[in-house]
Structure 1
Amino acid sequence: MTTTATTSNKIKGKGKEQPLASLLAGATAGGVESFVTFPLESLKTQLQFSSRVVGTAKGPIQLARETIAQRGISGLYAGVTAVVIGNAVKAGVRFTSYDQFKSLLKNDEGKLSAPRSMLAGLGAGMMEAIIAVTPSETIKTKMIEDSKRATPRFKGMTHGVRTIIADEGWLGLYRGVGPVMLRQGANSAVRFSSYSTFKQLAQGSTMAGSQMPGWMTFMIGAMAGVVTVYTTMPFDVVKTRMQSLEAKAEYRNALHCAYRIFTEEGVLKFWKGTVPRLGRLIMSGGIIFTVYEKTYPVAASFL
């Protein structure tokens, strides 16, 4: 056996994953990944908003230059605190859930087929969407949109959360939960199954008994990110629109939102913001799987 999973199994002395180690390693990976890639997430979100206004179409490079000129580098980090905290929790829940679903779905030989890996990823995505993603994404989306106003209303994450709750109630933090669940479920299903498939192929090309090098883990994670972007982008666009500041007045529900985007802006708008999201998930996939693979054995050894 040639992977870090083998190392963790030796540490534990058995094939089952340790939930607390998965949680700690996943949270660490999620926090690091979200901070590094947040500027690309910010640009993606701004591009998805700008497509609603006629004559405001911009490319990611132009938008980045304008944002930095108007608000400095910090303008690309509006809402970052909510996302770092949310992603740390999200990734912890994702990897813990995935490892537990994976353990339940393995066959008698301890192997996990691609369809079962996708099912485990789908379950993990649904869990993270409900527990962590929807509130953090709602806060992030509203703060990014608010930061573009001439006079921003939110004075920081805490004030933003209080304002959202005062305006819309606690359920306001769960606006768009349907498309978030669809996006996260699809994201995790595609990402984990792609990563698992690419990893198995790579293991076949490495020498028996050798551990997969970090650069290879990063590349496999990046490839999984590319596949994930193009297959799940429509869910992401609908999610962003449903969590906008004006969503309550504009859309009855997620289906109505998708219908309006399709009829008023065309099918290609469902892939608006693909370039920065692609850049983010290539980096994200590489970073998060690499950090997780390196952190899990360390966490498991202390538990």
Structure 2
Amino acid sequence: MASKKKDKAVHTLLAGVVAGAVEGAATYPTEVVKTKLQLAGSRQYVQAGGQAFSGAVECAVATVRTQGVRGLYRGVTAMLTGNAAKAGVRFLTYEWMQTQLRAGDGRQTAARTMAAGLCAGVVEGGTVVTPAEAIKTRLIHDRCLPAPRYAGVADCVRAAVRAEGVRGLYRGVGPVMARQGANSCVRFATYDGLKQLVAASDGSLTFAQSFGLGMVAGTVTVYATMPLDVVKTRMQGLAAATEYRGALHCVYRLVSEEGVRALWKGATPRLSRLVFSGAIVFAVYEETMKLLR
């Protein structure tokens, strides 16, 4: 991601925040559909009368029919805020780690890129992503039930803290950190590896190039990390505290009750999101950095 000239940390942070906000707003409906598909097989969801779906298209159509277009943006405030913050933290941590790892000989290797991406993902997962996605998942899950209980983001946060304490906002932090670490490791390694092949001598890319490389990076990321995403979603559902003892127990229940394929539930909407997510976030980041430089 870095240009030949070292960028200011504040520029990296700001560009990441802008890229995250734009990407989150543009792709959120696919996140709603993905989350609903992943929740649909849980025992508590079925017992509470939640609607089952045969696929992503049926889920999207049913959501619009029963809740209107606004239903595709349920929980968007939490996600948008978290997305902007996590992208800022991600790019800032990644660039800092890249600088530290290159301190010896100045070379950027694939191993160093993957290590920097892994660290960036773990940091963003533990600080920003877990609470934001916990609230987003609860709001979407709540809206799937016959009698929704939350009036909005603030009401959901208050209820979660009242019922489980602040720890409730960090339920599933292990799978989230693992998913974000794997996401960033794969995404940055793919993007930077391809960037070295097509970038100009000064390390710059055109908008079309960064958009295209971001799409490829997003596609690779989806299939490499999907099981982690499914486990994260299940553990952040409304009844996770009573249904799963931990991440490994969640995996066991998923595979034993729903089959191995359940670990890739929601792959289609997540693919549609991360393909464009990667394209948008990298393209907007690169263009914002050009302006700031």
Q: TM-score interval w.r.t. the shorter chain?
A: over 0.9
Q: CA RMSD in A?
A: 1.7
Instruction: Give the corresponding residue for 2:106.
Output: 110
Are 1:294 and 2:280 counterparts? no
Aligned to 1:19: 9
Residue 108 of structure 1 deviates from its aligned partner by 4.7
**C-alpha separation in 1, matches of 2:42 and 2:154:** 28
Instruction: Select which of 231, 240, 247 maps to 1:247.
Output: 240
Give the whole-Å Cα distance in 1 for the aligned partners of 2:188 and 2:217.
8
Q: Quick one: distance in 1 between partners of 2:204 and 2:176?
A: 36
Q: Is the 8 A contact 2:3 2:202 kept in 1?
A: no
What does residue 12 of structure 1 align with?
none
In structure 1, distance between residues paired with 2:203 and 2:255: 50
Query: What is the rounded CA distance, in whole Å, between the counterparts of 1:250 and 1:160 in structure 2?
Result: 20
* Structure 1 unmatched runs, 5+: 10-15
Q: Could you tell me which of 235, 256, 271 is aligned with 1:278?
A: 271
Report the Cα offset of residue 278 of structure 1.
0.3
**Percent identity over paired residues:** 48
Contact kept in structure 2, 1:17 and 1:100, CA below 8 Å:
no
State the match for 1:35 in structure 2.
25
Query: Which stretch has the larger CA shift, 264-273 or 290-299?
Result: 290-299
Within a 5 Å distance, the mapping from 1:210-221 to structure 2 comes to 211-221=204-214
The CA deviation at 1:19 is 1.3
Contact 2:53-2:59 at 8 Å conserved across structures: no
Q: Is the 8 A contact 2:42 2:234 kept in 1?
A: no
Mapped partners of 2:160, 2:289: distance in 1:
36
Give yes or no for contact 1:4–1:293 (8 Å, CA) kept in 2. Answer: no
Q: Distance in 1 between matches of 2:245 and 2:93?
A: 32
**Which of 58, 70, 74 is 1:74 aligned to?**
70
**Is 2:221 the partner of 1:228?**
yes
Closer/same/farther in 2, CA of residues 83 and 209 from structure 1, 3 Å limit: closer
Q: Which residue of 2 aligns with 1:59?
A: 55
What is the TM-score of this pair, normalised by structure 2? 0.94
Distance 2:165 2:101 in 1: 39
C-alpha offsets along residues 17-37 of structure 1, whole Å, 9 cap, x if unaligned?
A: 321111100011001101100
Q: Distance in 1 between matches of 2:194 and 2:72?
A: 33
Deviation at 1:57, TM superposition (A): 4.2
Q: Is 1:121–2:143 an aligned residue pair?
A: no
Cα 1:34–1:210, aligned 2, differ >3 Å: closer, same or farther?
A: closer
1:94 partnered with 2:87: no
8 Å Cα contact 1:4-1:297 kept in structure 2: no
Q: Deviations over 1:229-270 (max 9, x none)?
A: 000000000000000001011001111001110111111110
* Whole-angstrom CA distance in 2 between matches of 1:19 and 1:51: 43
Provide the C-alpha distance between the structure 2 equivalents of 1:177 and 1:27, rounded to a whole number of angstroms.
Answer: 22
Query: Secondary structure, in 3 states, of the residue corresponding to 2:245?
Result: coil
Query: 1: CA distance between counterparts of 2:215 and 2:3?
Result: 19
The reply to whether residue 145 of structure 1 matches residue 141 of structure 2 is: yes
Q: 1:168 and 2:164 equivalent?
A: yes
Is the 1:23–1:96 Cα contact (8 Å) retained in structure 2? yes
What's the CA shift for 1:127?
A: 0.5
Question: Given that residues 172 and 235 in structure 2 are in contact (C-alpha distance below 8 angstroms), is that contact kept between their aligned partners in structure 1?
Answer: yes
Runs of 4 or more above 6 Å deviation: none
2:3, 2:203 within 8 Å by CA — same for their partners in 1? no
| Gap regions ≥5 residues in structure 2 | none
Tell me which moved more, 273-282 or 159-168: 159-168
